[in-house]
Amino acid sequence: MNIALITGSAGLIGSEAVSFFSPRFDLIIGIDNNLRQYFFGEGSSTEWNKNRLQEKFSNYRHYSPDIRDTSALEKIFTEYGADIKLILHTAAQPSHDWAAREPFTDFSVNANGTLNLLEMNRLHCPEAVFIFTSTNKVYGDTPNYLPLREGETRWEIDEAHPYYKHGIDELMSIDHTKHSLFGASKVAADILVQEYGRYFGMKTGIFRGGCLTGPNHSGAKLHGFLSYLMKCAITGDQYTVFGYKGKQVRDNIHSFDLVNMFWEFYKNPTSGEVYNAGGGRHSNCSMLEAISLCEEITGKKMNYIYTEDNRIGDHIWWISDVSKFKTHYPEWNWKYGLMDILVQIEEATVSRVAH
């Protein structure tokens, strides 16, 4: 039997992975305890998504332990053992702003939780492929010291810089920089996953995401940028733009395109490899550009205010260079661009708000 075990299965990436992998595996084990609601409040509960998966996919089986609970994980891994062929680990405390509120919670979920799963992998199904959703926040605020130029609606890197063409690659240092506590707990996890590949020779892959997005994000003020922005555009709730004149640039990748990267890695895995994973030059926008696109799609003026205080650890300009992945896995390419993503988010949000 071929099993894919997905942590954070009711979240954005986890749920996309359930639908993608459901026809490709005999059984999908999902682990999610809706901690997202504890982090960000009622409006960001992922319960609706868990229910949707259970109704839609007959080979989906849901478990609700906390990934910090080693003995609960032990039970699941003992039961399914070497039938587990893929572990996709997406469960996390995902916000850099939130992490400083409860550093113990942030670190234990992101770092200890990842170690728990790696150990389960090593002890119960060492041949399984382990994929970890890391983040570009492991590079800390180093990108903010690049030679950036201010344009009318966005910051942009100097055209003469090697990052101009494709974006920032995996060779940027993750050391000597301000990460935020979230960035630091993800660095710990990122290095652990690399180490289980390099030290134990296990099939681990690390994907450092830019902005990951898509219609199934339970967008919250502190996490899920485009999804929360579109929610405000639809409901008329006030949105706050933090610093950098609203010209900060993020790249945005649809959850489907990211999960499709995981599929390529699963079919042909290596050990401890790191990839930047984002929308790259193909799909990116500044805050101001995203606001005007939301206005164009909804036909409504957005209710937003600007504050000078930027978020600690926020990037002024981030574009992921995905060339390394594309070279290793030439079959892969993006399917969705920024406009497709925003239109899908708008449609999904309208139907969720209406219910």
Would you state the structure tokens that stand for residue 189, as one six-digit string? 């996890």
Extract the runs of DSSP E, i.e. beta strands, from 18-173.
27-31, 60-63, 84-89, 129-135, 148-150, 155-157
Among 202, 212, 274, 322, binds ligand NAD (CB under 6 A): 212
Would you state the structure tokens that stand for residue 149, as one six-digit string? 């130029």
Would you state the structure tokens that stand for residue 38, as one six-digit string? 């504890």
Among 112, 121, 135, 344, binds ligand NAD (CB under 6 A): 135
Q: 209 or 280: whose CB is closer to ligand NAD?
A: 209
Q: Could you tell me which stretch among 34-42, 145-153, 280-288, 309-317 binds ligand NAD (CB under 6 A)? A: 34-42
Q: Could you tell me which stretch among 3-11, 74-82, 139-147, 156-164 binds ligand NAD (CB under 6 A)? A: 3-11
Among 5, 6, 8, 197, binds ligand NAD (CB under 6 A): 8
Does 34 help bind ligand NAD (rule: CB under 6 A)? yes
Would you state the structure tokens that stand for residue 298, as one six-digit string? 């909804």
Hunting for tokens 């079919």 — which residue is that?
A: 267
Footprint on residues 51-90 left by ligand NAD (CB under 6 A) = 66-68, 90
Strand 155-157, strand 203-209: pairing: unpaired
Cα distance between residue 200 and residue 329, in whole Å: 24
Nearest to 278 by CA among 88, 126, 130, 133: 133
List CB contacts of 104: < 8 A, sequence separation 6 or more. none
Q: Could you tell me which stretch among 11-19, 156-164, 314-322, 331-339 binds ligand NAD (CB under 6 A)? A: 11-19
Cα distance between residue 181 and residue 187, in whole Å: 10
CA-angle at 32, arms to 23 and 329, nearest 5°: 45
Among 3, 6, 10, 206, binds ligand NAD (CB under 6 A): 10
Nearest to 38 by CA among 87, 101, 80, 84: 101
Q: Could you tell me which stretch among 9-17, 139-147, 196-204, 237-245 binds ligand NAD (CB under 6 A)? A: 9-17
Footprint on residues 85-124 left by ligand NAD (CB under 6 A) = 90-92, 94, 109, 113
- Closest contact distance (angstroms) between CB of 206 and ligand NAD is 11
Q: 189 or 202: whose CB is closer to ligand NAD?
A: 189
Footprint on residues 249-288 left by ligand NAD (CB under 6 A) = none
Q: 18 or 67: whose CB is closer to ligand NAD?
A: 67
> Cβ of 166: how many Cβ atoms within 10 Å?
17
- Amino acid letter, residue 75: K
Q: 113 or 197: whose CB is closer to ligand NAD?
A: 113
Backbone Cα Rg of the chain: 19
- Amino acid letter, residue 46: T
Q: Could you tell me which stretch among 10-18, 145-153, 233-241, 337-345 binds ligand NAD (CB under 6 A)? A: 10-18
Cα distance between residue 5 and residue 84, in whole Å: 7
Q: Could you tell me which stretch among 166-174, 204-212, 234-242, 289-297 binds ligand NAD (CB under 6 A)? A: 204-212
- Closest contact distance (angstroms) between CB of 158 and ligand NAD is 26
Nearest to 315 by CA among 202, 170, 210: 210
Q: 46 or 349: whose CB is closer to ligand NAD?
A: 46
- Closest contact distance (angstroms) between CB of 93 and ligand NAD is 6
Size of the site for ligand NAD (CB under 6 A): 28
- Closest contact distance (angstroms) between CB of 19 and ligand NAD is 13
* Per-residue CA distances from 57 to 6, 15, 62, 133, 186 (Å): 14, 11, 11, 23, 31
Footprint of ligand NAD on this chain (CB under 6 A)? Answer: 8, 10-14, 31-36, 46, 66-68, 90-92, 94, 109, 113, 133, 135, 209, 211-212, 217
